[in-house]
Amino acid sequence: MSADPARILLSRRAFLGATAAVVAGGLAGCTKEAARTPAAAPVEPIATPRPPAPSARQAPVVEQRGPAFTVVDRSAWAERAPGAKINPMGEVTRITVHHTGEYGKWAELPDMQVVRQIENYHRMNTPHKRAWACIGYHFLVGRDGRIYEGRPARFQGAHTSGANANNLGISVIGDFMRREPSERQLRALAAFLDDRRAFYKVGKARVFGHRDLSPSECPGDALYAWLRRWKAAS
């Protein structure tokens, strides 16, 4: 996102995504209710993603924005560029927080591999949905405290059924029905929400949980309770 000052590049880490077992487990996460039709943001042209380097074991930070969060560029993990059938975002006027849920052995996988598996599932045709252009979320907050870029923010997402227009989707990796994300995840989420709100000039009242905008248990009871406290804080 060259036009976006929050874009931080990380070198690639190699974790090859094995999606078959996760797909069998239902990998839709909270996006099972999401609309397929992505609507309006002029940002930078898409950089063609490069496949991850098989030999890489670490993702050393090349550039970092402040101490609170680091953004992993889409090109560090994605194996394909977004598909052609995708609508522009336009002006971002709201932000929606999700959780991914947990399927199969996700708890044992590195965050980058989880992100790749979600993308692979979202791009599949299934009996319940058409293949999407790419992952539905714009960003995902990893258990490692990093922010993973998903769908480029200049494109409308596919994360909140009937309410994707002008809506930036941020998902936290994990299932947060009964427990909150780790302190590291929450610290990164709070800092990134503040950063994106400032960038897009979106007030706290325009930050939602998925369940606020469409029928869903997402982002989980515990994370939703945290989000309400965060919004109430000055």
21 CB neighbour count, 10 Å cutoff: 12
Whether 112 and 143 have beta carbons less than 8 Å apart is answered as: no
Q: Is the pLDDT of residue 20 over 80?
A: no
Confidence bin at 67 (pLDDT 50/70/90): low
What pLDDT, on the 0 to 100 scale, is given for residue 96? 98
What pLDDT, on the 0 to 100 scale, is given for residue 66? 57
Whole-angstrom distance, CA of residue 185 vs CA of residue 145: 5
What pLDDT, on the 0 to 100 scale, is given for residue 27? 42
- Dump pLDDT digits (tens) for 117-138: 999 989 888 777 778 899 999 9
> In a 10 Å sphere around its CB, with 0-12 CB exposed, 13-18 middle and 19+ buried, how is residue 206 labelled?
middle
Could you check whether the bond before residue 5 is cis, i.e. omega within 30 degrees of 0? no
What pLDDT, on the 0 to 100 scale, is given for residue 128? 73
Residue type, 42: P
- Dump pLDDT digits (tens) for 203-234: 999 999 999 999 999 999 999 999 999 999 96
Confidence bin at 65 (pLDDT 50/70/90): low
Place of tokens 């929050």: 6
Whole-angstrom distance, CA of residue 129 vs CA of residue 35: 9
For the chain, domain boundaries: 20-232
What pLDDT, on the 0 to 100 scale, is given for residue 63? 43
**Which residues, including other chains, have CB under 8 Å from residue 42's CB and lie 6 or more apart?**
3, 88, 154
Whole-angstrom distance, CA of residue 171 vs CA of residue 140: 5
Least confident of 50-59, 150-159, 181-190, 200-209: 50-59
Find the mean pLDDT for residues 166-181.
97
Find the mean pLDDT for residues 185-194.
96
What pLDDT, on the 0 to 100 scale, is given for residue 1? 42
- Dump pLDDT digits (tens) for 68-118: 889 999 999 998 999 988 999 999 999 999 999 888 788 889 999 999 999
Residue whose C-alpha is closest to residue 193's, from 181, 28, 76, 112: 181
**Which residues, including other chains, have CB under 8 Å from residue 228's CB and lie 6 or more apart?**
none
Least confident of 39-48, 84-93, 192-201, 208-217: 39-48
Find the mean pLDDT for residues 39-53.
33
Residue whose C-alpha is closest to residue 43's, from 188, 192, 149: 149
**Which residues, including other chains, have CB under 8 Å from residue 62's CB and lie 6 or more apart?**
8, 9, 10, 11
CA 205 vs. chain centroid, Å, equals 21
- Reply yes or no on domain 20-232 having CATH 3.40.50.720: no
Whether 60 and 123 have beta carbons less than 8 Å apart is answered as: no
Q: Average pLDDT over the chain, rounded to whole?
A: 78
Place of tokens 């063609």: 48
